[in-house]
């Protein structure tokens, strides 16, 4: 199965979203014996990222801005056979939907959140979001954003997420592995995907230069303290020469899910 649909793909050529689409479709194909494709429900927020649900031939639900995860929580409570994946944007989920993200993590609902973190509101032509660097110059901030970015990895660790990871859309093979691990994880899994927007914030070469893999650096994802240390290694603001950006699984823990408790 290639999960293709008849929808015309309207992302800009070279957009990081293509890497996410490829990695996810391959992950679903490789997991089909463990998780039948008919059990998947994919949901999205609103933005360029949201179009992904039109491009994958699985059950899907377009949410409103910031609410993909709360919709999926409801679906899981009704039917715990569903494999629920939320494709959300950084503006979408770190601004409009931030409370839903925190509560999904706090409750440990068995869903996966994939954040297309291009660090800009791209569909609406490049305003700054909660993960834009403070010098980000966009339509609404011609002199740079007057605030500092949040660190979603540290935020998710402190909110109680039981699977916290970061991927890079330019490394689809590694991202596919993260998707498979996140889907297999019982409980709330969170992946912040560094997704360059070639039109409003092209970060491809920066990430290619500065990303390194946690699993190759001997990181132990069961150690919460070390996960937090790694989360703080890059603050989403620093773009200097010596920046090191860890990608991979920061933290993984077993805990009863919300569905089980209810
Ligand atoms: C409640 C609400 N506020 C604002 C909008 C307008 N809006 C549509 S898309 C968008 C930006 C989406 O940005 P992001 O979530 O970062 O996704 P991207 O386009 O970058 O993938 C906004 C603000 C909306 N649709 N609904
Ligand atoms: S505007 Fe940016 S995020 Fe949207 S499709 Fe184009 S490159 Fe991708």
pLDDT confidence band for 139 (50 / 70 / 90): confident
Q: Which of 99-108, 140-149, 184-193, 242-251 has the lowest mean pLDDT?
A: 140-149
3-state DSSP: the chain helix, strand, coil percent, rounded to 5? 35, 20, 45
pLDDT confidence band for 202 (50 / 70 / 90): very high
257 has pLDDT over 90: yes
Its pTM stands at: 0.98
Predicted confidence at residue 1, as pLDDT, reads: 80
Partners of residue 164 on adjacent β-strands: 190, 251
Measure CA 142 to chain center. 27
When pLDDT is averaged across residues 234-243 and rounded to a whole number, the result is: 94
Ligand 2 centroid distance, CA of 46 (Å): 13
pLDDT confidence band for 2 (50 / 70 / 90): confident
Contact 65 CB / ligand 1 (< 6 Å): yes
CATH superfamily of 17-261: Thiamin diphosphate (ThDP)-binding fold, Pyr/PP domains (3.40.50.970)
Pick from 131, 185, 126: nearest CA to 155: 131
Task: Give the residue, by CA position, lying nearest to ligand 2 atom 2.
Answer: 197
Task: Give the residue, by CA position, lying nearest to ligand 2 atom 6.
Answer: 12
Ligand 1 centroid distance, CA of 46 (Å): 5
Residues 18, 14: Cα–Cα separation, whole Å: 7
Residues 225, 22: Cα–Cα separation, whole Å: 33
Contact 12 CB / ligand 2 (< 6 Å): yes
Residues 234, 246: Cα–Cα separation, whole Å: 8
């Amino acid at each position: 199965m290639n999960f293709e649909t008849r929808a015309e793909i309207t992302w800009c050529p070279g957009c990081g979203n293509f890497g996410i689409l490829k990695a996810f479709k391959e992950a679903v194909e490789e997991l089909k014996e463990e998780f039948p494709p008919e059990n998947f429900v994919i949901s999205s927020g609103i933005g360029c990222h949201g179009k992904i649900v039109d491009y994958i031939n699985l059950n899907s639900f377009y949410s409103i801005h910031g609410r993909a995860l709360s919709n999926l929580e409801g679906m899981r409570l009704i039917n715990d056979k569903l494999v629920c994946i939320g494709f959300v944007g950084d503006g979408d989920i770190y601004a409009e939907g931030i409370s839903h993200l925190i509560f999904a993590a706090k409750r440990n609902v068995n869903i996966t959140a994939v954040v297309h973190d291009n660090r800009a509101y791209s569909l609406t032509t490049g305003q700054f979001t909660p993960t834009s660097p403070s010098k980000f110059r966009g339509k609404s901030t011609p002199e740079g954003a007057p605030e500092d970015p949040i660190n979603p990895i540290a935020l998710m660790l402190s909110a109680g997420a039981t699977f916290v990871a970061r991927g890079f859309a330019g490394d689809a093979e590694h991202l596919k592995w993260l998707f498979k691990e996140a889907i297999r994880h019982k409980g709330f899994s969170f992946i912040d995907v560094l997704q360059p927007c070639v039109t409003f914030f092209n970060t491809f070469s920066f990430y290619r230069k500065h990303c390194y893999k946690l699993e190759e650096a001997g990181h132990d994802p069961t150690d919460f303290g070390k996960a937090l240390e790694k989360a703080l290694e890059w603050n989403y603001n620093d773009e200097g020469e010596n920046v090191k950006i860890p990608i991979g699984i920061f933290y993984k823990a077993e805990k009863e899910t919300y569905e089980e408790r209810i």
